[in-house]
Structure formats: structure tokens, C-alpha cells
Chains A and B, each alone.
Chain A
Amino acid sequence: MRLRQTWAVAKKEMRQARRDPLSLALLFALPAFMLILYGYAINFDVRHVRLAVQDRDMSDASRSLVSSFVNSTYFDLVASPEPGSDLESVMQMRVAKVVLVIPEGYAADIGANRGAKVQLLLDGADANTATTVLGYASALVAQTNAELMHGTRAAATAARVAIDYQPRVFYNPDLRSTRFLVPGLIGFILMLTAVLSTALSVVREKERGTMEQLRVTSLRPSELIIGKTLPYLGISLIATVIILVAARVLFDVSVAGSYFDLFVATLIYLVGALGWGLLVSSLSNTQAMAFQVGLVTSLLPTIFFSGFIFPIRSMPVFIQGLSHIFPARYFLVVLRGVVLKGAGLAPYWKDILFLVIYAAIVLGIATARLTRREV
């Protein structure tokens, strides 16, 4: 590889990128826009769940349980169906997502120390929310339970305090989804800019016939490929910085770990993404096709299979297996470690190793495809 030739290609590519200010602005503005969109508009935190309570006991104890639900701010009491009414229709009609049923004799059972029963009906159509709500409800019942045991037995058996369940969440103490989203967004946006910009820039040359002209010059394939990807690597890194700054300013999410670790992980991920962009360009002959292929093969897997929005563990086993071949999955694990936990790269060596292997394979195939002579 000769530096002068490589640099000539890179310079040309940057000049062309500058001539297209709209696309360039899009590459820089899109990350911040996506962050605002996802950060403000999409909120995975579950609050103010509509709750219906059928209190058949109507005692102090039952009212205390209901108020513990309402006071938690996770639940809003929206209906109190009469005893004997159709509870399923409450959920069918979407009046409430959760129905708490307190049977007759609740207070009496507690008083007699027999172990009272309550029933929770849950709308499981949205599985993610349902899981979260179930967690809240269990915690509230457990808390009430503890308080009751404390109150009734404290005097007699002071030593036998029931298990005091005090959860403490690390790294994202208030469980804000924005903190969780930022690393995902970095992975997602880098995929978008790297794959699409590379693929489109190569296919544009094919469409215009300049690729044919370049192939007949003494330009070596390595010079062409490195010269073409270098500017987009730079643009993608700048986009990363923009996301980090925006995350800090808008959502107060800062990088807990070292910037160097972040840079190294991002660079490895980007090389793989650029390689994928080149591979896409070798498969497409028009910009429209490159755009479609690039979108479907990189963006969608990054959204769906990386754990960016949907937890991988709640996916079918087959999809879980599939998620292993997409680099974003590994990058996100590393990124969450570095950005949220302040961890170094050492605990993530397996994920990094995968990213390196992915980059090597993809770049290898792309180079072979782009440089092979027509036969």
C-alpha cells in the first residue's frame, strides 16, 4: 500500500462528502436527533399502571394493602369493581392492566395468623410491561408482609424478623431507561452511518462508471478500500462524540470508564461495520439496492438482536442464537460496561475478541469480492 495513493483517495472522498452538505449534516444531526427521540419520547420505565381493586374484605388491613399499591406511584387506582362482577372484562375493555382481588376474610386470616391470600390478575399482552408490573406487585406484597410480621410478632419474637428485602440497583440506581439506551444508541447509530455511507460511496462509483476507471489505473485495491473507508471512520467517530456530548447535556449520562477503552472498542466495532458496508457494496449495483440491503442487514439486526431495546433473554431460543452473529450484541455489552459501570476492557475480552474476528472475516470477504478480477 502506498500512502500517497491512499491519501489521494481519502482526500477525494472527503471533498465529495463536503459537496453533499445535506447528507453530511444528516450524519451528524441524526445521532443527536435519535437520542432526543429515544431519550424523551420512548420511555421504558413503567409507572402509573392502571389498577382495579376488588376489595371483598373491606377491612383496615385490605385498605392498607391497597394504599400501599397506590402510594408506590407505580399504580393508579382507576376502578373498584363490585364483588361478583366480571373481572376479565375489566382487562378486556382495557379499563385496567392489573386487577387486585382481596378475598373476604383477608383481615381475619391475618389476625388468626393463618396466612392470607390475595389474587393479582395481570394483562400479559405486553410481556415486557407485565414482567415489570409483576415485579412491582410482588415487592409491594412482600413489603406489606414484612410490615405485618414486624407489627404482629415484634413484641413476642423480636429476634425473628422476617427477611428484610432491600434491593439496591447498581450503575443505574434509579433504573432510568435513558442510561441504558445511550450505549445502545451509539451502537445503532454507528452501524447506520458506517454501513450506509461506505456502501453508498462505493456503489455510487459503480453507478457513475468511475469504478471502472479506477480499476484500470494503477491504484491497488488496498489503497482504494482504505482510502475510501478512512473518511467515514472519521465521520463515525465524530458522530460518537456528538452522541456522548448530547447524552451528557440532555440526559446527564456520562462515561464512567476510560475514554481510551471506549475509543478502542468503538474503533474495532467500526472497522467491522465499515467492512460490512463494503461487503454490501460488492453485492449491489445501484444505490437504492445498497441502501435497502444495508438497512435490512445491519440496522434491523442492531435494533432487534442486540439487546438495545428488547432483552435478548426474553426472545425465542432460535432468535437468541441468531443474535450471536451480529456484532452489535457484543459491542453493546462492552459499551454498557465501559459507559455505565466504568469497567475496563479486561472482563469483556471475549466480546472484544468476537468483534475482532467479525471485522477480520467481513473485511476479508469484502476485499476479496471487491478486488477479484472478472472472469
Chain B
Amino acid sequence: MNQPVIEVRGLVKRFGDFVSVDDVSFDVRPGEVFGLLGSNGAGKTTTIRMLCGLLRPSAGVGHILGIDIAREPERLKRSIGYMTQRFSLYDDLTIGQNLRFFGGVYGLRGAAFDARRSWAIDIAGLRGKEGLMTGSLPGGWKQRLALACALLHEPKVVFLDEPTGGVDPLSRRKFWQLIDSLAASGVALIVTTHYLDEAERCDRIALMHAGRIVAMGSVPELKEVFSGRAMLEVSCPRVLDAQALLERRPGIHEVSAFGTTLHVVVDDADHGRATIASTLAGAGFDPLEIERIVPSLEDVFIHCIEAEDERRDAS
């Protein structure tokens, strides 16, 4: 495959004593959609802000399109596109005026600007609506317009920070189609999200927890943490009591609560099923429903976070 356009090695960001991003390394290649997945405060946005030249890394190096992110932030900014969490457009300007402003900021004019403007209006699906006030647009349209504004200068590397927050499911789908088409044209994208279904649409994912990348790879690769083991879903009342009973039973590796069910990782499906049934029946849990399931990304996520927390506690 082609050379990576984003290369990050040992990136660290400290705010006083607090380590927001801790030793993060990854590569992203052209045409790749790279997902940064994690809960709020995991360090996703801080990572992106360092990569965009908005924050100076405390340690580590990063190169985007060969530009050092710490040394040449101004040159870096000309080469990348960045859409913030809040689709930062001017609500009190019309759609056309927003495009004209961002075009002006990127120094576009004449035929070059007209072509990009036309492209932007098409991808946002706003043809004929250029005179509308931006503030009157529903979230989905605003989001696509914000993306179009961030892409007017045709960057080869694009950062999207939680791009689909507060947007309806249909608009989210349309937005991801847009991301896929950008990737198909050779643009490298980094997308942060805490939606697992969105993460599944990425080519590769880095799971972030407490500033660290705890797992990285494609979705099938990530699910391999459970290879050689089986996952059983147990439906029962009083899940938390049941969880306490099942933990530390022989042949049972992990028990996590998912609402009214438990996800239990076992060595062997049949053997595990028997252990669970007998343990719970002995404590008066009845009736039980035990089913073998394919681990989801969420299971992977929880597994990795627990492993990381254990590793931390141990050290």
C-alpha cells in the first residue's frame, strides 16, 4: 500500500499533572478512514487538536503529509481540513455567505472558487437554497455544509471531531456515505466518535481509554481478542447479583453487565453454559436464558478497558 500520510509516534499531552494523551502512536494511509473510539475524556479530541496544530504536544512526534505538527503548525493548517464538534458555521449568515467567507479565508477566487462552491452545495444537498439563513437549517444539512466548508481547499487529510452528534439517523447515514466517497477519492480521514456503529464503518479503529490506545486494528482484527473463546449472553433477573456469583468461577473469564443481560466469556460454549446454569440455579435464579452470541465491538471495548485498568492497578 502507499506511504502513510499521518505518522504519529509517542504523542503525549499533559495539562499540569493530568495526562490527557499518553504515548499514542499510529499511522493512517491515503483513502483510509481511521476511527478514534472512546468515551468522553478519553483523549480523542486532544489528540486531534494536536494533529491540527492547535495544541503543542508535550512529547512525541507527528508528521502529516511530511509536515512536523509541532514545528510548522501554520503550514500544516493549509494542508488539512478540520470539522469541530459543533459544525462551526455562522448561523447569522446565509449558506452562500458562509461559503464565500470560508472561500475567502482559503484564498479561493474566480473560477476555482465557483467550482468548489458548486461542489460544496452539491455534497451538502443545498442547491437552490444558497440564500437561506444557515441557522434555519436542520442539523443534518448544517453538518454536511460544515464539512463542505472545511473541505473547500481540497485537503488530503481531514479530521472530523464527533461529526454526527445531535444528528438524526438518516442524516448520519448520508454523512457516512460522504465520508466513504471522500476516502474513495484518496483522502485520509480521522473520525472521533463514541458511537460503536459508526466505529464499525471505519477501516481501522484505535480504542482510547484514559489517554492511551488500548487496542488498534480493523473490526475483525479487534474481535480476535476473543478467539478460541466463546461469548454467552445470559438473561436473568438481578443481573448484578448474578454477575457477582459468576465471576471467579472456573472456565469463566469475564462477566459484563449489559442492561438486563450479562455477557460472559468462557473457554468452551457447552461447558460454560452448564457452569452458568448450575451456579445460578443453585442461587435461585430462575428461569434462565443462555445464548451464544458473536462478540460486538462493545464487548471488545469493555474487554480492553478492563484489561487496561487491571494492568494499571497491577503496576
CA of A15 to CA of B101, assembled, Å:
10
Known: A15-B97, A214-B105, A216-B77. A209 touches B54 (CB 8 A): no
A191 to chain B, nearest CB (A): 26
Known: A5-B104, A217-B105, A217-B106. A208 touches B88 (CB 8 A): yes
Bin the interface of chain B by size.
20 to 34
Bin the interface of chain A by size.
20 to 34
Determine whether A152 belongs to the interface, using a CB cutoff of 8 Å to chain B: no
Determine whether A138 belongs to the interface, using a CB cutoff of 8 Å to chain B: no
Q: List 16 A-B contacts (CB under 8 A).
A: A2-B107, A5-B107, A9-B104, A9-B105, A12-B90, A12-B93, A12-B104, A15-B97, A19-B93, A208-B90, A212-B84, A216-B82, A217-B105, A373-B54, A374-B54, A374-B56
CA of A15 to CA of B133, assembled, Å:
12
Task: Verify A210–B56 contact, CB threshold 8 A.
Answer: no
Residues of chain A touching chain B, judged by Cβ–Cβ distance below 8 Å, are 2, 4-5, 7-9, 11-12, 15-16, 19-20, 208-210, 212-220, 373-375
Task: Verify A218–B105 contact, CB threshold 8 A.
Answer: yes
Besides the contacts A209-B84, A217-B102, what 16 more A-B pairs have beta carbons closer than 8 Å? A4-B104, A8-B100, A9-B104, A9-B105, A11-B100, A11-B101, A11-B104, A12-B90, A12-B101, A19-B93, A210-B88, A210-B90, A213-B84, A216-B82, A218-B74, A218-B105
Determine whether B86 belongs to the interface, using a CB cutoff of 8 Å to chain A: yes
CA of A214 to CA of B150, assembled, Å:
10
B103 to chain A, nearest CB (A): 8
- Encoded as 1 (CB less than 8 Å from any A CB) or 0, chain B from 72 to 91 comes to 01100110101011101111
Determine whether B31 belongs to the interface, using a CB cutoff of 8 Å to chain A: no
Determine whether B309 belongs to the interface, using a CB cutoff of 8 Å to chain A: no
Determine whether B8 belongs to the interface, using a CB cutoff of 8 Å to chain A: no
Please give, as numbers and ranges, the residues of chain A lying within 8 Å of B73 by CB-CB distance.
373
Task: Verify B91–A208 contact, CB threshold 8 A.
Answer: yes
B33 to chain A, nearest CB (A): 20
The residue in chain B whose Cβ has the minimal distance to the Cβ of A217 is: B105
B244 to chain A, nearest CB (A): 44
Task: Verify B97–A218 contact, CB threshold 8 A.
Answer: no
B53 to chain A, nearest CB (A): 7
A321 to chain B, nearest CB (A): 39
Task: Verify B53–A216 contact, CB threshold 8 A.
Answer: yes
Please give, as numbers and ranges, the residues of chain B lying within 8 Å of A212 by CB-CB distance.
54, 84, 88
A364 to chain B, nearest CB (A): 20
Please give, as numbers and ranges, the residues of chain A lying within 8 Å of B92 by CB-CB distance.
16, 19-20
CA of A374 to CA of B15, assembled, Å:
11
Please give, as numbers and ranges, the residues of chain A lying within 8 Å of B89 by CB-CB distance.
210
Determine whether B52 belongs to the interface, using a CB cutoff of 8 Å to chain A: yes
B88 to chain A, nearest CB (A): 4
Determine whether B109 belongs to the interface, using a CB cutoff of 8 Å to chain A: yes
Q: What is the number of contacts between chain A and chain B, taking CB atoms within 8 Å? A: 82
Determine whether B55 belongs to the interface, using a CB cutoff of 8 Å to chain A: yes
The residue in chain A whose Cβ has the minimal distance to the Cβ of B58 is: A375
CA of A9 to CA of B93, assembled, Å:
13
Q: Which of A9, A212, A373 has the most CB atoms of chain B within a 10 A radius of its CB?
A: A212
Please give, as numbers and ranges, the residues of chain A lying within 8 Å of B105 by CB-CB distance.
5, 8-9, 214, 217-219
Interface of A is mostly: helix
A204 to chain B, nearest CB (A): 9
Please give, as numbers and ranges, the residues of chain A lying within 8 Å of B54 by CB-CB distance.
212, 215-216, 373-374
- Encoded as 1 (CB less than 8 Å from any A CB) or 0, chain B from 138 to 180 comes to 0000000000001001000000000000000000000000000
The residue in chain B whose Cβ has the minimal distance to the Cβ of A223 is: B105
Task: Verify B78–A218 contact, CB threshold 8 A.
Answer: yes
Please give, as numbers and ranges, the residues of chain B lying within 8 Å of A374 by CB-CB distance.
54-56
Please give, as numbers and ranges, the residues of chain B lying within 8 Å of A209 by CB-CB distance.
84-86, 88
Task: Verify B77–A375 contact, CB threshold 8 A.
Answer: no
Task: Verify B90–A16 contact, CB threshold 8 A.
Answer: yes
- Give chain B interface residues in 37-90, CB to chain A under 8 Å: 52-56, 73-74, 77-78, 80, 82, 84-86, 88-90
Please give, as numbers and ranges, the residues of chain A lying within 8 Å of B106 by CB-CB distance.
217-218
Task: Verify A373–B91 contact, CB threshold 8 A.
Answer: no
A230 to chain B, nearest CB (A): 14
B245 to chain A, nearest CB (A): 48
CA of A220 to CA of B106, assembled, Å:
11
A17 to chain B, nearest CB (A): 10
Please give, as numbers and ranges, the residues of chain A lying within 8 Å of B107 by CB-CB distance.
2, 4-5, 218
B17 to chain A, nearest CB (A): 15
Please give, as numbers and ranges, the residues of chain B lying within 8 Å of A2 by CB-CB distance.
107
A286 to chain B, nearest CB (A): 16
The residue in chain B whose Cβ has the minimal distance to the Cβ of A213 is: B88
CA of A214 to CA of B88, assembled, Å:
9
Please give, as numbers and ranges, the residues of chain B lying within 8 Å of A19 by CB-CB distance.
92-93
Task: Verify B88–A375 contact, CB threshold 8 A.
Answer: no
CA of A230 to CA of B106, assembled, Å:
20
Task: Verify B104–A8 contact, CB threshold 8 A.
Answer: yes
CA of A374 to CA of B58, assembled, Å:
11
Q: Which of B102, B103, B105, B109 has the most CB atoms of chain A within a 10 A radius of its CB?
A: B105
B22 to chain A, nearest CB (A): 18
CA of A107 to CA of B77, assembled, Å:
93
The residue in chain B whose Cβ has the minimal distance to the Cβ of A219 is: B105
CA of A16 to CA of B92, assembled, Å:
6
CA of A8 to CA of B90, assembled, Å:
14
B52 to chain A, nearest CB (A): 5
Please give, as numbers and ranges, the residues of chain B lying within 8 Å of A375 by CB-CB distance.
55-56
Please give, as numbers and ranges, the residues of chain B lying within 8 Å of A373 by CB-CB distance.
53-56, 73
CA of A219 to CA of B108, assembled, Å:
12
Please give, as numbers and ranges, the residues of chain A lying within 8 Å of B80 by CB-CB distance.
216
The residue in chain A whose Cβ has the minimal distance to the Cβ of B152 is: A217
CA of A62 to CA of B30, assembled, Å:
105
CA of A218 to CA of B52, assembled, Å:
11
- Encoded as 1 (CB less than 8 Å from any A CB) or 0, chain B from 92 to 118 comes to 110001001111111101000000000
The residue in chain A whose Cβ has the minimal distance to the Cβ of B81 is: A216
CA of A219 to CA of B54, assembled, Å:
13
Please give, as numbers and ranges, the residues of chain B lying within 8 Å of A9 by CB-CB distance.
101, 104-105
Task: Verify B56–A12 contact, CB threshold 8 A.
Answer: no
CA of A8 to CA of B88, assembled, Å:
17
CA of A54 to CA of B78, assembled, Å:
86
Task: Verify B56–A213 contact, CB threshold 8 A.
Answer: no
Please give, as numbers and ranges, the residues of chain A lying within 8 Å of B88 by CB-CB distance.
208-210, 212-213
